[in-house]
Structure 1
Amino acid sequence: MTGLATIIGATGFVGRRLLARLGAAGWDTYAPAKGDKSLFGRDMGVVFYCAGLTADYDRRPFDTVDAHASLVSELVRAGRFEQLIYLSSTRLYDGQAAPMVDETTPLVFDPADPRRTYDLSKALGENITLTRAEGRGAVARLANVFDWALESPGFLSQWLIEAARTRDLHLDSTPHVVRDYIRLDDVVSALIAMAERSARGVVNVASGELTGNGEIANLFLKAGWRVTFSGDASPPVPPRVDVARLRALGVAPTPVKDVVRGYLEGLTA
């Protein structure tokens, strides 16, 4: 399947790679500049809503709300799209008492917690997409996305980028942090599959496995790197995310350990 695709946030981490893949696959792509309101007056085809804030959301709460909810509200109101795929986050599950969650798990937030601005604004964006898009909306809840292209954000991304520069790594974290990691290319494959199969509702875009920093560090140690951590705290373990819906779309993310192992082999070859 190809057609017209509009990528909101095409200069960002996910949007940039998605734009390149869609173009290479023969899609007619449109990447409006930030603040370009003319997009609401044109046909948009399949909209991939990749706009958002991550690391600096707490410093920019009002921009966070605009990016996660206000703009998508305007887009849905205009209504000139075939399908809307809204990128959200599996961090919305954090704090759940259950050891495993799926797309039907009710989300629980404390509105008095200032750090919940990210979660609540993403949840509002999800709500608008799922309930106001006349059945044409879908949500992709992304786990911790990583890559090793320069300037890729995120802890593991920076870890991999630094490994190409030095064999002596000192990490500002703890070996006991546990996360679900998914490679950027697998995320892009998942988003395209959601478009090609006209997915509706919520899809967890994750590996479905939790991996600790210490486990990844062991791969580096075996490959000849030296790794130290700045702390030794044991933060709460997030719930494991069910990925049955993702696999039903034909997407099976590569386990993070296999990706890291292959990457390190490439650096030592």
Structure 2
Amino acid sequence: MAGACTIVGAAGFVGAALDARLRAQGLNPYAPAKGDPELLARDLGCVFYCAGLTADYAARPFDTVEAHAALPAEIARRGRFERFIYLSSTRLYDGGAAAEPVREDAPLMLRPAEPRHIYDLSKALGENIALTRMDGRGAAARLSNVFGWNDGDPGFLSEWLARARTGRTLELESSPHVARDYIHLDDVVDALIAMSEAQSPGIVNVASGELVTNAALAEVFAAEGWTISFRGDADPPPPPCADVGRLRALGVAPRPVLDVVRGYLQAAARP
């Protein structure tokens, strides 16, 4: 991509990786700190809106609404920008049918009386602002379970991979039956850049499109010399899996999580 760009939330997991990629491409993204008055005073170019709360949203409900919806609304109302890519979540599909991959236009099951749904409702409102109040310049990226392997990267699989560097025998606080749709951080960055360069991408599922169980991941670890055990045995129903047809149409083919994990472990095992 070329031209001015802004990353709101550049200190976060996805925002930091996007910032590093764009700088490596010779760009100089504007990365405003929280409350920076320049955000509404300068030409922002293409805005990647990566700000939001995840693990602590329930303890900080008002900050969640501010980050997910109020600030995007203020940018829509007063900001100067060319494109706006809003980072949302495939968690919006929770509670729906899981039999078939879920397309972006599927109806959402949102419950205003459910405290946990402050996350879902505020993300949905942020999407609505981006898609309907930005004169066709907004788009929404619904991210699935993003993982990396650096120390401090959030999420169950990220922590599992980081721990794998410390020893070959690991006991995990989960069940082998739990399944998730994982996508590596690098593929997410590819997707966001592709969305910024596409004409009116709308909503795009940024996921691998495949549910992978902890047991399947443990088999990859075992084949590479690790011993994995789980403390739990819960067998929850599988979550909805995202359809990734729109993502592939943008030229982004997310790598299968088992292949990515296998490559990481093989590299980690080399002397």
TM class by shorter chain equals: over 0.9
Pairwise CA distance, 1:198: 3.4
Equivalences for 1:219-230 in 2 at 5 Å? Answer: 219-230=220-231
- Counterpart CA distance in 1 for 2:151 and 2:25 is 24
Where does residue 148 of structure 1 map in the other structure?
Answer: 149
SS of the aligned residue for 2:74 comes to helix
- Counterpart CA distance in 2 for 1:230 and 1:72 is 41
Detail structure 1 runs of 4+ shifted over 6 Å in the superposition. Answer: none
Pairwise CA distance, 1:167: 1.1
Counterpart contact for 2:7–2:15, Cα < 8 Å: yes
Where does residue 172 of structure 1 map in the other structure?
Answer: 173
Pairwise CA distance, 1:38: 2.1
Where does residue 10 of structure 1 map in the other structure?
Answer: 10
- Counterpart CA distance in 2 for 1:196 and 1:26 is 16
Counterpart contact for 2:49–2:87, Cα < 8 Å: yes
Pairwise CA distance, 1:199: 3.8
Output the amino acid matched with 1:260: V
For structure 1, list consecutive stretches of 5 or more residues without a partner in the other structure.
none
Counterpart contact for 1:2–1:26, Cα < 8 Å: no
The answer to which of 199-208 and 128-137 deviates more is 199-208
Output the amino acid matched with 1:92: L
Pairwise CA distance, 1:190: 0.4
- Counterpart CA distance in 1 for 2:40 and 2:154 is 30
- Counterpart CA distance in 1 for 2:36 and 2:77 is 16
Where does residue 93 of structure 2 map in the other structure?
Answer: 93
Pairwise CA distance, 1:27: 2.3
Pairwise CA distance, 1:37: 2.5
- Counterpart CA distance in 1 for 2:15 and 2:158 is 16
1:36 aligns with 2:43: no
Pairwise CA distance, 1:98: 4.5
SS of the aligned residue for 1:30 comes to coil
SS of the aligned residue for 2:259 comes to helix
Pairwise CA distance, 1:227: 1.0
Counterpart contact for 2:41–2:79, Cα < 8 Å: no
- Counterpart CA distance in 2 for 1:18 and 1:72 is 19
Pairwise CA distance, 1:179: 0.6
- Counterpart CA distance in 1 for 2:20 and 2:146 is 17
Counterpart contact for 1:65–1:121, Cα < 8 Å: yes
Output the amino acid matched with 1:262: G
- Counterpart CA distance in 2 for 1:184 and 1:198 is 23
Counterpart contact for 1:3–1:28, Cα < 8 Å: no
Counterpart contact for 2:93–2:108, Cα < 8 Å: yes
Output the amino acid matched with 1:70: A
For structure 2, list consecutive stretches of 5 or more residues without a partner in the other structure.
none
Percent of pairs identical after alignment?
64
Pairwise CA distance, 1:223: 1.3
SS of the aligned residue for 1:186 comes to helix
Instruction: Give the TM-score normalised by structure 1.
Output: 0.98
Equivalences for 1:188-199 in 2 at 5 Å? Answer: 188-199=189-200
Equivalences for 1:39-54 in 2 at 5 Å? Answer: 39-54=39-54
Equivalences for 1:1-269 in 2 at 5 Å? Answer: 1-99=1-99, 100-269=101-270
Deviations 1:152-192 (A, max 9, x none): 00000000000011111111111111110000000000000
Counterpart contact for 1:79–1:133, Cα < 8 Å: no
SS of the aligned residue for 1:118 comes to helix
Output the amino acid matched with 1:179: R
SS of the aligned residue for 2:95 comes to coil
Instruction: Give the TM-score normalised by structure 2.
Output: 0.97
- Counterpart CA distance in 1 for 2:124 and 2:266 is 40
The answer to which of 176-185 and 23-32 deviates more is 23-32
- Counterpart CA distance in 2 for 1:73 and 1:230 is 44
The answer to which of 155-164 and 107-116 deviates more is 107-116
SS of the aligned residue for 1:189 comes to helix
Counterpart contact for 1:146–1:183, Cα < 8 Å: yes
